Structure 1
Amino acid sequence: MLQNRVKELRKELKLTQAELGKKVKVTRQTISFIEKGVYDPSVTLAIKISEALNQEIGEVFWIKHNNEIEK
Structure 2
Amino acid sequence: MTMVCSVSPLSRTATAAPTPGVMVKAAVGRLANSLEGFACAIAARRRRRLDQAALDALPFDLRKDLGWPAGDISR
Q: TM-score, normalised by structure 2?
A: 0.19
Structure scoring higher RCO (CA < 8 A, sep ≥ 6) equals: 1
Q: Larger % of strand: which?
A: 1
Higher helix share: 2
For the pair shown, which has the larger CA radius of gyration, 1 or 2? 2
